[in-house]
Structures are given as C-alpha cells and as structure tokens.
Structure 1
Amino acid sequence: MTPASGTVEAHGIGGQADLPISLELAVSGAVAALVVSFTVLAVAWRRPRYDGGAFPGRPAPRLLDVVTASPAFRIALRVIGMVIALFAVFTAVFGQDSLTNPFFGIVYVWWWVGLIFASAVFGPVWRAISPVRTINAGIARLSGSDPDEGLVDYPSWLGYWPAALGLFAFVWLELASRTPTELGSVRLWCAIYVGAMLIGGAVFGNRFYESADPFEVYSSLIAKLSPWARVDGRLVLRSPLANLATIPSTPGLIGVVGVLFGSTAFDSFAESSFWVKTYQNASVSKFLLDNVALVVFCVVAGLLFSIGSALTPSREGLSRRDLPRRYAHSIVPIILGYIVAHYLTLFIDVGTQTLARASDPLGKGWDILGTAALEPSYWFSYHPEVLATIKVLAVVVGHVVAAVAAHDRALSLLPPRDQITGQLPLLVVMVGFTAGGLFLLFSA
C-alpha cells in the first residue's frame, strides 16, 4: 500500500526475520492447524449448525436495543458520516497537494482500513453513516419520492459485480496507478465514486447501494463477523459463524472476494525483493507490470477458490456452477485475517498521524481539534516479534474460521456419502491460501 503519511510505511514493519520461529515452521504449523481443524470437524461436527439461519442468538440488553433502533440514533450516525465527508471534501479542495494533507489518510487509512475494523466490531457501519445514502435520501425528500424506490428495479443478475468493479478501481488507484498520492487523482476518484453512487441510487433506489456500493458491500460482508445482528427487528448477540451463514449467494460474490483477497496478496508481493528486482531488470515499465500482476492476483484468487468449490460433489438439483457462490462466504474470515495482518500498524500509526494533521487541514499551524500534538508511538517498531506473531495468528485464525464456515455449509450441500471426502478439494485450496499468504506476507 502506498504510505499516506509521507514518513513511514507502517504495515511493512515486522518481517520474517522477526518471527520467534522460522517462517517455514510457522507455515507448517499454520497448515497443520488447518488440517487438524478439518479432522476434528469431520469427526465432531456431523450436522449443519448455522446454515439456514436457524440460530436466533441471545437478546441484547434492552436499553441498547431501544437506543440503536431509535430514529434519533440513526440520524446521529448520518450526521457523523456527513460531517466527516464534508471535512474530507474541505481538505481535498482547499488542502495542500502534499502527503501532509489529511485527505490521504482519511481515504487510504480511515476509510479503506478503519471502516473494516469498525465493521468487524460494530456491524455494517458504512450502511449506517454513508453520506451518499444521506444525500440520496435528501434529494428524494425534496422531490417527494421514496429513496427506496428507483425508476427501475435493480437487475438481480447484476448482483455484486458493480461493487467488485468499484473495489478493483480503488485498489488499482492505490496499488497500480501512477499517481496514488497526487491530490488531483485521489480527488477525481472520489468525485467519480460519489457521482456514480448518486446516479445509481436515483435510478435503482437504495437497493443499488446494498449491491453496488463497493464500500457498503465490503463493510457489510465484514460486518457478518461481528457478534451483532437484528433478527425480527430485535438486536441480538450471536456467533459470527451464524451471521456469516446469512451472506446471500449473490452473483458477483466471487468477484468481490477475489478482488479483496487477491489485491491484499498483491500488496505483499509488490513489496518483495523478487518483485523489486523483476521490474528493475524488466524491459517494460513498472506501471504495466503492476497492472498485469494486480489483475492476475485477483483473477487467480477467485479462480482457485471457484475450482476448489466446483470440484466438490453436490446434492441432486444443484449446479456445480452455483457452488462457488454458496461457499464464498467462507472467504470473508480469511480476508479479515489478512487485513489485520497487513494493515494493523498502518491503521494505528498513520491513522494517528492523520488525526493529528486533521487539526491543521490547510497547513497553517491550526489546532482545531486539539489533536495536533498527537504522535504515533510506533510501539510495533520496537516489538517486531510481537507484530510478526500477531500476523501469523490473524492469518491462521482467519483460515480456521473459514474452514468451520465451509464445513458447516458443506454439510448442507454435499450428498451424505461425500460429506468428508467431498470437502477435500476446498481444503487443498485453503491450505494453499494459508501457505502462500504467509510466504507473501513475510516476503515484504
């Protein structure tokens, strides 16, 4: 990821030399943990527990339920989202074309990374604070129309594909474009995003945002790993695995997870000594190589998972072509694991720098938020072995949770005679993701 701070590429701290054990042993242990988990599941988990949504959970405290369901709470979240968005617009329009402009940190750190961490803890945050939803609702009110109703129905066959395209456009800007840290380029990308979202909302209504807003789709998928859900209008606490099982098998879901997983893997690969030597010695430009490699990583990630899923047997009447979408929800924990492993230090250190710089958005020596004196502690810089351990644990836990989710879904999809052996193709793919992901992560 391109550093938004101008001083530190924080997610690069903690390489394989900082592991308390060798990288090969860490990879072997991670693969063993995944295989052992599968074995235990095969023996002890014989019936689907979460698939089908038959897991209501425990009611949340009544006061929390009442507060979060109130119109005032929803309005407050909308106001917070609009205030942050307007501040970002202010820094983008009037701020300096320099990496000290907090606009870069707001986009690359708070929006892209912080939103995901918040969604994993609190639920679908972007849906609650989305400024484009708020603007669309305001326009609908002024025109006397219903923001939920568009001019035409959103095509069901389109599914998440617009969101997958939007996510790829963002990671391209960040990882493969020539000008990821030029104010004009990032400002133009955000303007195109807002324009596309407002047009889509006007044409298709709010259904458009659920399927086509790249940030809402990303946030909502990760939110399925939070412990919160609303069941029959009531806020409940329940297992993230139960929430994960409710992800709809929508067309384009493979595209979304392929872009998210593949782009994070490419971000690690792009920092490896192998890739640096490759583009330094190549006869073509780094720009071209990065673009080709980014596409390849995203396509291969989605293709490998699709092949592994399609090779599993299925009950009569279920097409193999539909199987990848049915299992795709299990990739979400892997994505979150890699986001934690790859971007934790970026979020903490550069996120703190962004908060400090937000107090002086125009570089005039202001301290409007009282945060100008904040400085990152760079704690992980002094404890790289701790960071390396967290990286391995995040990846391993993400894959183990993914294996559990895939196993639970497989029990519903596989014929009784194939409920063990039928899962092996998917297990092989996940083992490959685990080993390959850790090698890429620590090769940076």
Structure 2
Amino acid sequence: MPGTIQAHGLGGAKDLPIPSELAIAGAVAALVVSFTVLAVAWREPRYDGRTTGRTAPAWLDRLVSSRALAVAARVAGMVFFLYVGAAAVFGKDSLTNPFLGTFYTLLWVGVVPASLLLGPFFRAISPARTIAMAFARISGVPEGQGMYAYPARLGYWPAAAGLFAFVWLELVYPHSTDVGPVRLWCALYLGIMLVGSALFGTTFLARADPFEVYSSLVAKLSIWGRREDGTLVLRSPLANLATLEARPGLVGVVGVLFGSTAFDSFRESTPWLKAVQSMSVTRVLPDTLGLIVFSGGVIAILTVATMATGVTSSTPRRALPDLFAHSVVPIIVGYIAAHYLTFLVEYGQLTLIQLSDPFSRGDDYLGTADLQVSYWLSGHPTFLAVTKVLAVVLGHVVGVVAAHDRALALLPRRHHLTGQLPLLVAMVSFTVGGLYLLFAA
C-alpha cells in the first residue's frame, strides 16, 4: 500500500518463479568455469591504477575539476539536506514523511547507482563535509587539516562501526520507521562527523563517514578514475577497483555491508522466525546477535580464505584480508541490486512524490504530488527473478576476476593456482548462501 515501507523490495520466493536449485547450480558452475579459464589464460597481473586508463577529454577534465561544479554540488547537497531536515523536524511522525524514504531509500540504496554512474557521489554532496569545510574556512584553518593526524591504525574501522549502527537501526531496532529515533540517529551521526573532522580534518570523513566510505567503495566500480597526477581517466571497472587502497578495517566494512544484506533476507525466513518465537525475549536481542554473526561470519570466511595461502616475506599474512577485500565489493553491489531493486524503484518513486509535501499538509512544492507509482517490476516476476540472479552471479564473477588479478600480483608463482583455491571456496560459499537466502526469505 502507498505510504508503507516494504521489506526492501524482496518479496521472497513468490518474486522468484524459477527453481532455486537451478539458479544455485548455474551460479556455482559459472564461478568454477570462470576460475578455470582465468587459471589457464590469465597468467600475469593486468591492472595497475598508476598507468591504466584512457585520458578523458580536456574539456571534461576541466569541467569535473572546476571549482564552480564543486560549489554547485555542495550547494545542491546542502539545500536538499535542509529541505529534508525541515521535514524531519517539523513534519508528521508517520510513514508519509519523506524523511524516512530519503534516509532508507534515496540515501542508503540510491547512493549505489549514483556512485556507479558518477563516481564518489556522496563525497561531492556530503552535508557533513560541506559544514566541516565551512567551519574550517571561517576559523582560518587550512582546508582538510585538523588538530591531530588521523591514526593510520584506525583505518576504516570507524566507518565499519558506523555502517553497523545504520544496519542495526534499519534491521533490528523495533521503531526504525518512527521519525524520532531516525532523526536522533542522524543528529548523532552529524555531530560525530563534525567533531571528528575538527580533530582529524577531512581525512576523518574519508575514513569514518559510513556513507562516504560506502559511496567511495562502490565508485571504484565506475568507469571514472584519476591517475596519481590527478588526471581524469576512463578505465574499466576492474582496473578502477584495483586502485582501492587497502587500509585496516576494509575487511570490516565489506563484512558489514555483505553480512547485513544477507541477514536482511534471513531474518524473515521461516526457520529464523520460528526460532525467535520460541524464545521468551523480544526480537532485538536475537536479531542483534544474528546481525553480528552474519557480519562477523563474512569477515571470518574472507580472513581465513585469504590467509590460507603461501606468501612472500614482503607481504605478511595479516595484511592479506584487507588486500583482497576489494574483491568483495562487486559481490556487495550484486546483492544490493538483487535485494533492493524493487524497493529502490517503487518506494523511491513514492518518496519523490512525498517530497512535494514534506509537512503532510497537501502541498506540492516540487510538482510531483500528483504522480503515480509504477509497479511494473512487481508485475513482471520472471524478469525480476532473472535480473536478481544475474546481478548476484555477475557480482561474484567480477569478484573472482579481481581476486585472481590481485593473487597474481601478491602470491609467489608456485602458489598462483593453489593459493587461490581457498578464495574460490569462499566465493562458492558466498554464492550458495546468498542465493539460498534470496530464494528462501
């Protein structure tokens, strides 16, 4: 019904009218065949972000690098932030408030296609970054600097914690669709980002802002990149993905993103619902534990698979999980597409309609109040099923290619094949588990 938030567009098996066994078997076969072909035909690493890529036209580089475009993006981001913020503060506490749809749909899900098409989209419009830059300019602090240097050992771990806080709010907290708690979460997020940027500069935002890190990870699968000298280039998504710099906590970020999406499917499955109902507790505790297990499980599988190989003395085993974590990014994007596709398309349209009436008074500020939501995707379940399965399989195949290329660059030649077998096993387990949950939800 209009005005309600569905289960992220995933209607379960009724939306997937193809045999689950066939889909899982086909996906596993695709991974094994891909690995075999790569092992035979791909003997040397091919992706080097320092040299790959075709130089973009000079006019496009000037436009993208121009201060005018940067200012326009920041102004647009702040205007939209203030507009939605007004709805959060002065709007009604109901599902018709566009603040909720903006937070859960346009921000969390919409940032994925935006980053795939445009690059690090959220970084360009981030209200936290804009406010931090404005404070720095007013106080006379050099842009990007803080009181202290950001500790390198923290890496992306603060972003992983922020992402976990978001998915806990979305998936576990029983009042996640009440305006008040979501508004409080956003206020805390903004406060932490501003304090952190004052202490550690904009490096803190690049490492700790959950939405900026999320967007920047996905942007590595876009065709847009820059060489070390700052030149704008167009290159293949795999070459762009190889430029992702491994830092502590990267495995935690991908673990939370992938694990939470898998848990979102599992939490509405019949076995889990029966198990929760058999406990004499509210769903908060078991769901929290389930979210931790799924996120931690992805981290553990990836860690064990990457460390179970021979390495040279120049690459310690403990560094391997973060060095290979980039190969999970395509898998995450594939599952996000499969899991949230209907939710983004259909509830995203409803959110755009609701944005015209932010205070639920019958206003039509944006001229979209009279539009109607198209439920074409829900009306074509076979197309939807094929699209979801293809997204998952394609994500895993791209992940295998990325892991293979990184393995050739890191592992000794004698371990080029055997060293990748644990990674293949991990990829197959991710595929089987993910597709099973997609069908069984």
Verify: 1:390 aligned to 2:387, yes or no: yes
Paired letter, 1:170: F
> Are residues 139 and 123 of structure 1, via their aligned partners in 2, closer, same or farther at CA, if it must alter by over 3 Å?
same
Quote the residue 1:77 is aligned against.
73
Normalised by the size of structure 2, how large is the TM-score? 0.97
Quote the residue 2:118 is aligned against.
122
Of 209, 213, 229, 2:209 maps to 213
Aligned-residue offset at 1:322:
1.0
Of 159, 175, 180, 2:176 maps to 180
Q: Once the two structures are superposed, what CA deviation does each residue of 1:248-305 show, in whole Å capped at 9, x if it has no partner? A: 1100001101100000000010121222222222222211111110111110111111
Instruction: Note the 1:28-177 alignment, pairs <5 A.
Output: 28-50=25-47, 52-177=48-173
Paired letter, 2:214: Y
Distance 2:19 2:25 in 1: 10
Quote the residue 2:271 is aligned against.
274
Aligned-residue offset at 1:166:
0.4
Any conservation in 1 of the 2:18–2:382 contact (CA below 8 Å)?
no
Q: Among all aligned residue pairs of Structure 1 and Structure 2, give the percentage whose two residues are the same amino acid.
A: 58
> Are residues 21 and 344 of structure 1, via their aligned partners in 2, closer, same or farther at CA, if it must alter by over 3 Å?
closer
Q: Once the two structures are superposed, what CA deviation does each residue of 1:367-417 show, in whole Å capped at 9, x if it has no partner? A: 110000122211111101111111100000000000000000000111111
Distance 2:131 2:21 in 1: 51
Secondary structure in structure 2 of the residue aligned to 1:394: helix
Any conservation in 2 of the 1:10–1:349 contact (CA below 8 Å)?
no
> Are residues 197 and 18 of structure 1, via their aligned partners in 2, closer, same or farther at CA, if it must alter by over 3 Å?
closer
Q: Once the two structures are superposed, what CA deviation does each residue of 1:12-40 show, in whole Å capped at 9, x if it has no partner? A: 23x43554541001100000000000000
Verify: 1:6 aligned to 2:4, yes or no: yes
Distance 2:128 2:2 in 1: 24
Paired letter, 2:153: W
- Residues paired across the two proteins, number: 440
Any conservation in 1 of the 2:120–2:219 contact (CA below 8 Å)?
yes
Secondary structure in structure 1 of the residue aligned to 2:109: helix
Any conservation in 1 of the 2:353–2:371 contact (CA below 8 Å)?
yes
> Are residues 88 and 254 of structure 1, via their aligned partners in 2, closer, same or farther at CA, if it must alter by over 3 Å?
same
Of 374, 377, 380, 1:380 maps to 377
Quote the residue 2:20 is aligned against.
23
Paired letter, 2:221: L
Any conservation in 1 of the 2:18–2:385 contact (CA below 8 Å)?
no
Verify: 1:367 aligned to 2:361, yes or no: no
Quote the residue 1:255 is aligned against.
252
Instruction: Note the 1:304-319 alignment, pairs <5 A.
Output: 304-319=301-316
Paired letter, 1:94: F
> Are residues 54 and 175 of structure 1, via their aligned partners in 2, closer, same or farther at CA, if it must alter by over 3 Å?
same
Secondary structure in structure 1 of the residue aligned to 2:328: helix
Distance 1:284 1:124 in 2: 42
Distance 2:201 2:147 in 1: 8
Any conservation in 1 of the 2:119–2:222 contact (CA below 8 Å)?
yes
Quote the residue 1:241 is aligned against.
238
Normalised by the size of structure 1, how large is the TM-score? 0.97
Distance 2:185 2:14 in 1: 38
Any conservation in 2 of the 1:269–1:275 contact (CA below 8 Å)?
yes
Distance 1:7 1:153 in 2: 42
Secondary structure in structure 2 of the residue aligned to 1:378: coil
The alignment's C-alpha RMSD in Å is 1.4
Secondary structure in structure 1 of the residue aligned to 2:146: coil
Paired letter, 2:328: I
Quote the residue 2:322 is aligned against.
325
Any conservation in 2 of the 1:359–1:372 contact (CA below 8 Å)?
yes
Paired letter, 2:97: N
Secondary structure in structure 1 of the residue aligned to 2:152: coil
Paired letter, 2:116: A
Secondary structure in structure 2 of the residue aligned to 1:412: helix
Distance 2:286 2:133 in 1: 42
Q: Once the two structures are superposed, what CA deviation does each residue of 1:19-76 show, in whole Å capped at 9, x if it has no partner? A: 45410011000000000000000001000001x4244311223322221111100000
Distance 1:389 1:128 in 2: 34
Aligned-residue offset at 1:317:
2.9
Aligned-residue offset at 1:234:
2.0
Secondary structure in structure 1 of the residue aligned to 2:153: coil
Secondary structure in structure 2 of the residue aligned to 1:229: strand
Paired letter, 1:43: V
